[in-house]
Amino acid sequence: MAENVAVSWGSALGELRRWASAQEGVKLAPGKISVPKPARDEFYRRASQVQKLLAASVLADEMAAAEVLARRFSSAREGLCRAAGLSRYALAPRLEQFVEDPREAAARPLQALVLDAASGLVPLAEVDGAAREAARAPFEVLLRAAYEAWVYLSVVSALGPVRFWVVAAEGPDSLVAVETDEVRAGWQVPSRELRVPEAVFRTREGETYALKMECAREIDYYDAMVPLARDTSAGGNTFELLGHRVLLLYRLADEGSVAPVVNRKEKRQVHCDLAVSVLAPREMENRSYLGVFIQRAQKLRIKRPLQVVTYGAAKGFPLEMADDPAAPAVCCRQVGLDEEALGAIARELQSEPIRNVAFNPISH
């Protein structure tokens, strides 16, 4: 079946059923599908086409924006890699799939539904509603993760990296920076006691920074007071995890100065020179989300105002947050897809650090 034969997911599904009924050995019955090996590739190719058309139908409003975001991210990453001599800046596999083909990524959660509809287990009248329920939440996660990755890589790119090192363990508590042409976002040697930068880079101005695109939930374990017996973190290695992340930047004297940013055994933590967080409107306005945001900001011990990029239209933080002594200093920006606006975040590193930071009990 040619890609352009079907104009809707319904007609593509009907064509799949007609094709299956004409193939020897292919059997479709409610809840039961039997496809012999010679017909298997073609069967799943046709089912995949139904998935894509169905995803495009139920996610019509978001799909065009997703494709724009994927192109912008690809362009930003290519520019960063070209300038810094990297062959690759890798992301979680599911996010890589989204950036490569947003329509394919959007369709993946619908495979089981399409097969159930093809077999007759799910009535045709129920497919649209079931698809909306199955596709929307995973797609929103992918959109947010892609937007965050674009923001964070664009901020790093604005600093003008020309050379990268990955961070490797040289001993139980010591690290070494190894020159590389490939970086993996969120990767480190797993450790319950240590949190380690994923990379170090030098800018064209001669400045050196360690960076970590940390899963936000992992920041809960930066606190040395959390008993190890209750530690259910990923041990700092979050490369394959897909979820809300925060960009952390630490200024170094040189690449040889790289060290753990958190050593929970010794109760030591490095102050973060700059942190950037993408927040959805509900995370700025909902009290429970906001409480978690404040707690994590406290644990990071940030030298400068935490840079918040709003994901979607937002009213901003509640006014009473400014009167909360526990709340971090923040600078909130709504930038959309304006890459130049993200350069202002990078320039925050030239501002004076906050003095007398008194967030958590970990010393440095």
- What confidence tier does 172 reach under pLDDT thresholds 50, 70, 90? low
Residues β-bridged to residue 249: 211, 274
Query: How far apart are alpha carbons 315 and 312 in whole angstroms?
Result: 10
Q: What is the pLDDT of residues 86-96, one digit of tens each?
A: 999 999 999 99
Half-sphere exposure of 351 (CA within 13 A, CB side): 16
Q: Are 303 and 270 in contact (CB under 8 A)?
A: no
Q: What is the pLDDT of residues 204-249, one digit of tens each?
A: 999 999 999 999 999 988 876 666 656 678 888 899 998 899 999 9
If phi > 0 it is left, if psi is from -120 to 50 it is alpha, else beta; for residue 251 that is beta
Query: How far apart are alpha carbons 209 and 221 in whole angstroms?
Result: 22
Q: Concatenated DSSP letters for 255-307?
A: GGG---SEETTTTEEPPBSEEEEEE-HHHHH-HHHHHHHHHHHHHH-BSSPEE
Determine if the pTM surpasses 0.85: yes
Q: Are 198 and 211 in contact (CB under 8 A)?
A: yes
pLDDT of residue 121 exceeding 90, the answer is yes
Averaged pLDDT for residues 11-36: 92
- What confidence tier does 173 reach under pLDDT thresholds 50, 70, 90? low
Domain ranges for the chain: 9-146, 159-350
Residues β-bridged to residue 152: none
Residue with tokens 């700092």: 236
pLDDT at 355: 55
Q: Tell me the residue ranges of DSSP E strands in the chain.
A: 27-29, 32-34, 88-90, 161-169, 175-179, 182-184, 194-195, 199-203, 208-215, 245-252, 262-263, 268-269, 274-279, 306-310, 330-333
Kindly report the backbone phi and psi dihedral angles of residue 241, in degrees, each rounded to the nearest multiple of 5, phi listed first. Answer: -80, 140
Cβ neighbourhood burial of 361 (10 Å; 0-12, 13-18, 19+): exposed
Query: How far apart are alpha carbons 277 and 332 in whole angstroms?
Result: 10
Residue with tokens 């909130």: 332
Average of per-residue pLDDT values in the chain: 88
Neighbouring C-beta atoms of residue 341, cutoff 10 Å = 14
- What confidence tier does 351 reach under pLDDT thresholds 50, 70, 90? confident
In whole angstroms, how far apart are CA 350 and each of 152, 154, 306?
A: 18, 17, 14
> Which tokens in the block code for residue 38?
């010679």
Averaged pLDDT for residues 288-306: 89
pLDDT at 1: 42
pLDDT at 236: 83
Percentage of the chain lying above the pLDDT 90 cut: 63
Averaged pLDDT for residues 305-328: 81
> Which tokens in the block code for residue 141?
């996660």
Least confident of 26-35, 229-238, 301-310, 341-350: 229-238
Angle between helices 60-84 and 37-58 (to 10 degrees): 100
pLDDT at 228: 64
Q: What is the pLDDT of residues 125-168, one digit of tens each?
A: 999 999 999 999 999 999 999 999 999 999 999 999 999 999 98
> Which tokens in the block code for residue 145?
């993760």
Pairing of strands 208-215, 245-252: antiparallel
